[in-house]
Amino acid sequence: MTQWLTLSRAAHVLGISRAALQRRVSAGDLPSFDGRVADTDLIRCFPDLDIDARLDDSGAFERVVQVREQSFGRRVRERSLPSAELLAQRLFVQGQELAEVRRHLSRYHQLVLDLQQRLAALPHPELRPLARAVEDGLHAVLASPVETNPVALMDQMLRSFSVQVTFRPSGHECAVEGRDTLLEAALRAGLSPSYGCASGNCGLCKARVISGEVRTVRTGDYPLSAAERQQGCVLMCTHAPVTDVTIETLEARGPADIPAQELIAKVRAIEPLGGETLLLHLQTPRSSRLRFLAGQGATLSVAGLLGSFSADLPIASCPCDERNLHFHVRHTAEDDFATRLFAGALKVGDAVTVRGPWGTFVLDADAMPTRLMLVAEGTGFGPIKGLIEHALAAEETEAFTLIRVDAPGRAYLESLGRSWASALDDFQSHSIESADPLAGDVLETLRKTLAERQPVGLRVAGSARFVTTVMALAEAAGVTDRLSLTLD
């Protein structure tokens, strides 16, 4: 019997990105209906699918063995496997489904046997060939080997470890793995649901379960009313799905949907990145997270004995890890914040006031570009990095082109672009060193790449002079989806 899977579920089963699967659909290689694909079409489209190799690649069996064999596997269990209670509940539900299938098969088998007996009891000779055909057909079915559908088998195996969540009204989907809550899984998948504390106290991540079953996996103090509980409302930060579920919740469609926030974060690390650039790593409290979109920025303020100092900085990390905020700070004499940071005015454990987020340098959650070109000058790579990580988490962008321009000896994190290019099928990374970011060879490379990679969504971050020139090139090339961030 044909089994229909959503694109997200099919991509998860095959171990490929949703964008790669969508590319096959767009090319006409893989038929789809109402956002779903048939398992038989997946087998035809991916004839080399090796279920044993796929299981190995998924790491699911390896993780189970690792947890079983390692006495210090608590952290592994927390990251890789659902809790014992949740796993038992999922297996129980699968057992119920299997029992129901067996009951149906038993009824059909008995129906065929009854038909066979009734035909044999009839006195009409002309019905004997029909009776023999029924008997031969039954024997053939019972004697034939069971055909293994690798897609269905992999799907059933993965359902014990991860389930699918569909969000309404947006239609977005994500897989929930390990001990992730509904909220954690949504953030890891590049979604932007409403939330605040992420610890069950504020109630901002309230959602209504439309179908499926969820279970409380963490405690929280926010009291749901009797009417809300009756309607199926739960807190996404304290619940995990037992089965595939559909929930109704608010999601941010753009910067206007993200409220202004203020919190106190602690310095987790200050590390050199190369090229006279430091990584400032802040960590928010467990009870208060900064909700933001990739590409946005925040205002950092520090009060100390030697005076206060502050800066508006773009966030260089992805909202999928909302507690850890990264900022790239370059040593510039005119920048008081950078000067003090390089002089050691901030140390690990110090408190930093974070206000934000601000900015519209983001990707459209409802119309993610299938081809994305990102151009960064200097520390413009910070917000660009956040956009790339967000797009990779969302798995809807098929092709990336990254162009970095920096002065000789000032480039940093160059290996990151190379690692993306080596790990992803259609990711191009170019680094250009030039004392003048608008030199002729730089502009020629930009013109050529824009012409080759059309149509494209363009995001440019850097100095005002650089951004203005690149945006003019993009307008001349006919690029309509373009946004820029000026760092001056």
pLDDT in tens, 340-366: 999 999 999 999 999 999 999 999 877
Residue that the structure tokens 């405690």 belong to? 219
What pLDDT score was predicted for residue 55?
Answer: 45
Cβ 263 vs Cβ 225: under 8 Å: no
Give CA 161 to chain center in angstroms: 17
Q: Please name the residue that has the structure tokens 């990711």.
A: 427
CA distance 411 to 397: 26
Whole-number pLDDT of residue 333: 85
Q: What are the residue ranges in the chain where pLDDT is below 50?
A: 53-78
pLDDT for the residue numbered 210? 96
Q: Are 192 and 177 in contact (CB under 8 A)?
A: no
What pLDDT score does 226 carry? 93
CA–CA distance, 160 with 88 (Å, rounded to integer): 9
* Three-state SS annotation for the chain: CCCEEEHHHHHHHHCCCHHHHHHHHHCCCCCCECCEEEHHHHHHHCCCCCHHHHHHHHCHHHHHHHHHHCCCCHHHHHHHCCCHHHHHHHHHHHHHHHHHHHHHHHHHHHHHHHHHHHHHHCCCHHHHHHHHHHHHHHHHHHHCCCCCCHHHHHHHHHHCCEEEEEEECCCCEEEEECCCCHHHHHHHCCCCECCCCCCCCCCCCEEEEEECCEEECCCCCCCCCHHHHHCCEEECCCEEECCCEEEECCECCCHHHCCCEEEEEEEEEEEEEECCEEEEEEECCCCCCCCCCCCCEEEEEEEECCEEEEEEEECCCCHHHCCEEEEEEECCCCCHHHHHHHCCCCCCCCEEEEEEEECCCCCCCCCCCCEEEEEEEHHHHHHHHHHHHHHHHHCCCCEEEEEEEECCCCCCCHHHHHHHHHHCCCEEEEEEECCCCCCHHHHHHHHHHHHHCCCCEEEEEECHHHHHHHHHHHHHCCCCCEEEEECC
Write the CA distances from 218 to 180, 187, 322, 351, 414, integer angstroms.
10, 17, 18, 28, 40
Q: What is the pLDDT of residue 396?
A: 85
From residue 365, give the alpha-carbon distance in Å to each of 1, 41, 293.
Answer: 35, 29, 10
The reported pLDDT for the residue numbered 466 is 95
What is residue 154's predicted lDDT score, i.e. its pLDDT?
A: 61
In contact, 384 and 296? CB cutoff 8 Å:
no
Return d(Cα 312, Cα 74) in angstroms, integer. 40
**Encoding tokens for residue 41?**
């079409």
In this prediction, residue 71 carries a pLDDT of 38
User: How many C-beta neighbours within 10 Å does residue 51 have?
Assistant: 14
Neighbour-count burial for 371-388, b at 16+ CB within 10 Å, e otherwise: bbbbbbbbbbbbbbbbbb
Given CA atoms 195, 198, 204, 206 in this order, what sign does their dihedral have?
positive
Half-sphere exposure of 107 (CA within 13 A, CB side): 6
What pLDDT does 120 receive? 76
pLDDT, residue 48, reads 67
Q: Is the bond into 455 cis (omega within 30 degrees of 0)?
A: yes
